[in-house]
Amino acid sequence: MSGHSKWHSIKHKKGAADAKRGKIFTRHAKLIEIATREGRSGDPGMNPRLATAIENAKADNVPNINIDRAIKKGSGELKGEATEEVVYETYAPGGAACIIECFTDNKKRTLSNVKSAIEKNGGKWAESGAVMFMFDRKGVVIARGNLSEAAELALIDAGAEDIEKTGDIISVTTSAARWNKARDVLKENGCEIREAGLKYVAKQEVPVTDAATAKKLMDFIEVVEEDDDVSEVHTNANIADEVAAALG
């Protein structure tokens, strides 16, 4: 099982805790704002990226008023500093490579906060390009449900390169251009879409078989993701099944 899929499976099992912190709503609002601005339209029918951002937000029960406000900010109807995407590279405790995606209206603040979180929690800051070459930009769809053999074959026909299952959590990896087709197949087969879009996926994974190292890695990622500007942390670590089960 890929480390990428497993980390997402672990995260989605504890998703309720993230929602309680309210950060998940903020993350979706920033994604919707950026999708509106970059797609130059607040109409999801004319802006596929916005349509996906709204669908993902609704899957996490983001209120319509939050969605509407984010669209208005992205279209310029509401004033305020524009949100930008920034990416940082780092090594986690144990040496696993990580890419940190952020959405921010103040790059200096975000850089300072993220760098501090990395250094205070056993990580090592990496210069631009030191880690990025280890990852590909891929389509990833996370869903909850069960798959029949026919559904798995349909996913492969739709472009699935990897299908991972942990309990009732399904993670499907595709090329950057075909994730929406995999999403549609999952929906057609009664699965609840939890997340869909582009992510950084490791080209080669680093096995993590030691529970102490895995715990440090997971704690490191959670601490970094607690920053309001951090959207997501991607890692090339492959946590062994038995270790993930013991920790999860």
Residue 62 sits in a domain of what CATH number?
Answer: 1.10.10.200
Q: Which pLDDT score, from 0 to 100, does residue 3 have?
A: 45
Say yes or no: 98 and 115 in one domain: yes
The pLDDT value recorded for residue 11 is 55
Per the structure, the complete domain to which residue 122 belongs is given by 84-133+204-247
pLDDT at residue 16, rounded to an integer: 47
CA nearest neighbour of 160 among 137, 138, 190: 138
Please tell me the distance from the alpha carbon of residue 207 to that of residue 164, in angstroms, as a whole number: 17
- Helix, strand or coil, per DSSP, at residue 226: coil
Q: Which range in 6-10, 172-176, 196-200 is most confidently predicted, on average pLDDT?
A: 172-176
d(CA 160, CA 8): 17
Residue 236 and residue 139 share a domain: no
Considering the domain architecture, whether residues 126 and 164 belong to the same structural domain is answered as no
**Which residue intervals of the chain are DSSP H helices?**
3-13, 15-20, 23-39, 48-59, 64-75, 107-120, 149-157, 179-188, 211-225, 241-247
pLDDT exceeds 80 at position 10: no
The verdict on 181 and 228 lying in the same domain is no
Q: Mind listing the pLDDT tens digit for each residue in 17-34?
A: 555 557 788 889 999 999
The model's confidence at residue 202, banded by pLDDT at 50, 70 and 90, is very high
pTM: 0.81
Examine the pLDDT at 128 and tell me if it is beyond 80.
yes
Boundary of a domain, candidates 39, 58, 75: 75
As a whole number, the mean pLDDT across the chain is 88
Q: Do 168 and 57 share a structural domain?
A: no
159 with 38, same domain: the answer is no
32 and 70, same domain (yes or no): yes
pLDDT band with cut points at 50, 70 and 90 for residue 100: very high
Do 98 and 212 share a domain, yes or no? Answer: yes
Residues 227 and 106 in one domain: yes
Which tokens sit at 137?
A: 């930009």
Domain co-membership, 239 together with 127: yes
Q: Is the pLDDT of residue 6 over 80?
A: no
**pLDDT over threshold 70, residue 94:** yes
Question: Could you give the number of structural domains in the chain?
Answer: 3
| 106 and 141 housed in the same domain | no
The answer to whether residues 209 and 245 touch, using CB atoms and an 8 Å cutoff, is: no
| pLDDT score of 81 | 84
* 67 closest CA partner among 84, 83, 50: 50
